[in-house]
Every structure is written in C-alpha cells, then in structure tokens.
C-alpha cells in the first residue's frame, strides 16, 4: 500500500514536472492560448510608468506593452513591479515580460534574457544654467558640480573632468542647491534631467553636454524563451524604425533622446 | 610607503579585503582630505561651542531679564531639535534668506558654504549643552566664594573670569568631556549638506568599490582614534587642574 502510494506520488510529481516544463517551453504559445499578455511594469517612474489620477497605470512603457499585446492579438494585464522583484517574477512565471526601465547589465544578463536592441536608454549628463555656456565635459574643470551621493559617475566627473563634486543625499537637495547657486551644474541621469527641463522652474537651464555612459534599457523574458524574445526583437526594431519611440517621447513631453534618434536612423530603412 | 601600498593591494587580491584608500592614489587623497575636514570641523566647532558655553553661562546670570530669556530660548531651540534638521534648516532654509555674493565664475552664490554652515550649526548645537554644563559648574561654586571675591573688589565679570569660572571648570569637566566627544561624532551629520568629511568620502568610495564592510570598519577605527585623542586631552586637562581638597 505504502509502496503504491509512494510510486503514485513520485509519478505524479514527475508528470507535473514534465507538464510544467512543457508549459514553460514556450511563453509565446502560452500567451496566445491564454489570450492575455502579463507584463511587469513600473508604476512609480513617470513618465515611463506611473499611476494616473484615476489610479490606472499609464506611461511610455505602458503604451509599448499595450502595443506588444495588440500585435499579438491578445489582451494585456499589467503587474506593477519594482527593481528588486521584477526578475524574480519573471523567473517564477508570474509575468511574461519585463518592461520596467531595466538597464541591460552583465549581472542581470546571467539571470534573464534581454531583448536587444534596447527600447530606450539613459546616460549621464548635466543640468546647468544656460548662462554658464558649458559645451563639453572638460569645461567642468575646477567648477563646483552637484551630484547625488553614491552615483557611479561622480568619480569620473571628479577624476577625469576635474570637477569639484558636491554630492547630496537625494535629488531634491541637489536640485535645490543648483537653484541656490551652490554649484554650476548637476550631474545625473539624462532621462530624469529631461523630465525636469520641461518644468517652468528650469527654463533658464539646459542639458548641454554629450551624454556619456549611455546604457540601454531592455525588455526581458525568462531564460530560454527564444521564440518570444525573437518576436519582441522584431517589435523593438519596428518601434525604432517607424519612429514610434520618438513619437511617444514627444507625447510624454520628453525631448528626443540621442539614443532614440540614433536607433531611428539605424533602423528606419528596414 | 610603497611596501604598505602593495601589501594592501596583495591583501585585496588574495583575501578580497578591499581597502583602496591605501593603494589607489585618487582614493587615498580623497580619504585623507576627508579626514582633514573632519578634524578641522571638530576642532573649530569644539572651540566655538566652549566659547558659546562660557559666554552663555555668564549671560544666564545677568540681571537683565531679557538677556536671560534670550539665552533660555537659544538653549531650548538648539537642545530640543535634532542637529540634522538644524543643519538642513541653516543650509537650505536660512541661507536662502541671506544676501548672495558673486563667485569667481560670475554667478551669484550663497554667502556661506556647506563647511561654514556645518561649523555654525554644530557649534550652536553643542554650545546649547555647554551653557547648561557650565551653569551646573557655576552653581556648584559656593555663594560665599562669590561674595568673598566681591568683597575683595572684583566686578561681576572679574569675579566670573578669575574666581568662579576656574572653579566651575573643575566641576563640569567630566560633563564637558562627554559633550565634546559627542560633538566629534556628530560631525558625521555634515555629510547631509555635502561637507566632504570622512563619512561622505567613505560613502563615495564604498559605492565605487562595493566594499561597505571594510570601509565601515576603517571608519569606526578612525573615530575610536579621534575620540580617543579628545578624551586623552580632556583627561590630562582634568588632572592638571585638579585642586587637592576641592571636589572629589
């Protein structure tokens, strides 16, 4: 009796494992069968993914996720994620795809499969008064430059470009210090700075330098989901080629980023 | 020195204990400039806070009611609010109300920088405690001693400086010692307003190298050393000022 029970248990566990691996074998088929694409998105990162006044998740990346669903002919379900859980969710199969301002890094490459090219990118630039007339990174030499403590580019700004770094705990302090004239520039992520430039308070400021350390934000799928990843690659290339990313940037009030422009040039003839 | 540098590099390669402040020139320079800033900040605010304490305690005994009230208000404000909040208030709040000056790049900038504001707020914070510490010392001096000084022709100020304060000092040194040790440790708060002191530079180094445990340990040891120097100096002073038969 006991033996039989054990055998059955082992068999059923094995069967479960097999069926699970079959089910996980192709997310793309799963999505089509289910009729819903489950996407992990940010809900706290305007304008890429945020809550609208009536509580819906909206944003640039949400529009992209909806576009994927539309192309696949399925509905969309949005799952809010944060940096620390998004790869876990993907791994556990809670979501089919991550499209959540995720920078493509070597470390993450080991855990998930990134869709390349990236659909977006951010890099390092400065926010500075127009009057300062900065044109290249070398102009920062000997100048007080605000930053955020712990940012990796602080070292480079100080060591290579000779700036005098004044790093604060958060962005709010750094923006205030820049406005009070405690520094001549604020070195930070260009995507965030572009968002600020849109506001009236920063009308006398500009983002004058060439963006450095640009790294792409990739969509990601679980490892081994090659069919799905290839499908998404096609879609991303089409977004770049058709100028959809550039249009979305304009729609969300962001000045066109160098990355989006460059990718459009690269893929527009496809 | 080169032997020490290469030893730390070796240590990193073999054990993974990464202390770039000993083998990387850039990191070493910024770490030692951070140490220097911490020492400057400590010494300046230490001196200023003792001066505030001595002057404040004298004003507390003033015959003018408003002088006493102002000193009391100062103590209540600075002793009862967090030093970090005070620093933010001075640096971002109060400083915005002051006139600006033109800097070397032709831009308007606030008249005082982060180091100056850190010094001011730390001095006022520790000073508020020092006033009360000195008051405790003054009150321990017998009334008859003050009367004796006056009968010898001392003015109120003269009696304070030459008779009461030297005696009061002896009584309040242990409490003063405590407060000054606290002040040296509180200088780390200055990193919040971007004063490049030890914690600030260490924070930048450990975010560059992801060597938080090593830097934390180094930081702790350095503060133990710095506080040790203050305690040693204060204890010596205490011994040197000891009057046989006075106090304990």
Contact at CB, B114 and A166, closer than 8 angstroms: yes
Q: Which of A155, A178, A179, A183 to mutate to test the interface with B (most CBs of B within 10 A)?
A: A155
Q: Give the one of B110, B113, B194 whose C-beta lies nearest to A168's C-beta.
A: B194
| Tens-place pLDDT, residues B74-125 | 999 999 999 999 999 999 999 888 888 888 888 888 888 899 999 999 999 9
A101 to chain B, closest Cα gap in Å: 21
Return the number of CB contacts < 8 Å for A and B: 55
A212 to chain B, closest Cα gap in Å: 17
Q: State which residue of chain A sits closest to B203, comparing Cα positions.
A: A150
For chain B, say whether A55 makes contact (Cβ under 8 Å). no
| Tens-place pLDDT, residues A170-199 | 888 999 999 999 999 999 988 878 878 877
For chain B, say whether A52 makes contact (Cβ under 8 Å). no
Q: Give yes or no for a contact between A49 and A57, defined as CB atoms under 8 angstroms apart.
A: yes
Question: What is the C-alpha to C-alpha distance for residues B182 and B218, in angstroms, rounded to an integer?
Answer: 19
For chain B, say whether A105 makes contact (Cβ under 8 Å). no
B129 to chain A, closest Cα gap in Å: 28
* Local confidence pLDDT in tens for the 270 residues of chain A: 556 655 655 555 555 554 444 444 689 999 999 999 999 999 877 788 888 889 999 999 999 999 999 999 999 999 999 877 888 899 899 999 999 988 888 878 888 999 999 999 988 999 999 999 999 999 999 999 999 888 888 888 999 999 999 999 888 899 999 999 999 999 998 887 887 887 788 999 999 999 888 889 999 999 999 999 999 999 999 999 999 999 999 998 887 888 899 999 999 886
Question: What is the C-alpha to C-alpha distance for residues B38 and B32, in angstroms, rounded to an integer?
Answer: 10
Question: What is the C-alpha to C-alpha distance for residues B98 and A9, in angstroms, rounded to an integer?
Answer: 78
Q: For residue A187, give the 3-state DSSP assignment.
A: strand
Q: pTM value?
A: 0.74
Positions of E strands within A95-184: 97-99, 113-114, 120-129, 144-148, 164-168
**Interface pTM, i.e. ipTM:** 0.83
Q: For residue A49, give the 3-state DSSP assignment.
A: strand
For chain B, say whether A143 makes contact (Cβ under 8 Å). yes
């Amino acid at each position: 009796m006991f033996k039989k029970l054990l055998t059955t248990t082992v068999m059923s566990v094995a069967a479960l494992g097999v069926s699970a691996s079959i089910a996980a074998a192709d997310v793309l088929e799963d999505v089509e069968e289910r009729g819903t694409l489950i996407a992990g998105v940010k809900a706290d990162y305007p304008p890429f993914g945020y809550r609208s006044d009536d509580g819906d998740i909206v944003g640039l990346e949400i529009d992209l996720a909806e576009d994927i669903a539309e192309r696949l002919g399925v509905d969309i379900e949005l799952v809010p994620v944060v940096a620390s859980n998004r790869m876990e969710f993907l791994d556990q199969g809670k979501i089919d795809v991550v499209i959540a301002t995720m920078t493509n890094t070597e470390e993450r490459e080991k855990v998930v499969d990134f869709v390349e090219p990236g659909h977006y990118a951010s890099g390092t630039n400065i926010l500075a008064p127009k009057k300062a007339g900065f044109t290249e990174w070398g102009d920062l030499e000997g100048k007080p430059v605000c930053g955020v403590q712990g940012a990796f580019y602080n070292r480079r700004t100080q060591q290579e470009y000779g700036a005098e770094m004044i790093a604060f705990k958060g962005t709010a302090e750094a923006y205030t210090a820049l406005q009070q004239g405690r520094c001549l520039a604020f070195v930070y992520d260009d995507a965030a700075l572009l968002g600020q430039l849109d506001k009236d308070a920063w009308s006398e400021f500009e983002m004058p330098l060439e963006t450095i350390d640009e790294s792409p934000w990739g969509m990601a799928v679980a490892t081994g989901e090659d069919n799905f990843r290839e499908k998404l690659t096609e879609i991303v290339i089409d977004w770049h080629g058709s100028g959809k990313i550039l249009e979305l940037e304009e729609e969300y009030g962001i000045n066109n980023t160098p990355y989006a422009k460059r990718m459009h040039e690269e893929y527009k003839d496809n | 020195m080169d032997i020490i540098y290469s030893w730390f590099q070796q240590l990193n390669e073999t054990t993974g204990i990464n202390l770039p402040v000993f083998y990387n020139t850039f990191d070493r320079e910024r770490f030692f400039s951070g140490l220097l800033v911490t020492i400057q900040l400590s010494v300046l605010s230490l001196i200023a806070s003792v001066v505030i304490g001595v002057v404040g305690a004298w004003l507390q005994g003033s015959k003018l009611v408003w002088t006493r009230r102002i000193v009391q208000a100062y103590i209540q404000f600075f002793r009862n609010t967090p030093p970090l909040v005070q620093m933010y208030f001075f640096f971002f709040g109060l400083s915005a109300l002051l006139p600006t000056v033109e800097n070397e790049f032709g831009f308007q900038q606030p008249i005082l920088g982060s180091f100056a504001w850190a010094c001011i707020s730390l001095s006022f914070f520790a000073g508020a405690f020092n006033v009360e510490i000195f008051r405790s010392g003054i009150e321990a001096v017998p009334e008859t001693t003050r009367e004796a000084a006056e009968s010898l022709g001392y003015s109120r100020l003269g009696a304070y400086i030459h008779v009461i304060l030297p005696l009061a000092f002896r009584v309040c040194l242990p409490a003063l010692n405590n407060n000054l040790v606290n002040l040296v440790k509180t200088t780390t708060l200055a990193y919040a307003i971007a004063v490049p002191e030890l914690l600030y530079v260490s924070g930048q180094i450990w975010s560059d190298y992801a060597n938080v445990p090593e830097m934390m340990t180094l930081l702790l040891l350095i503060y133990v050393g710095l506080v040790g120097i203050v305690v040693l100096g204060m204890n010596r002073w205490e011994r040197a000022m000891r009057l046989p038969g006075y106090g304990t």
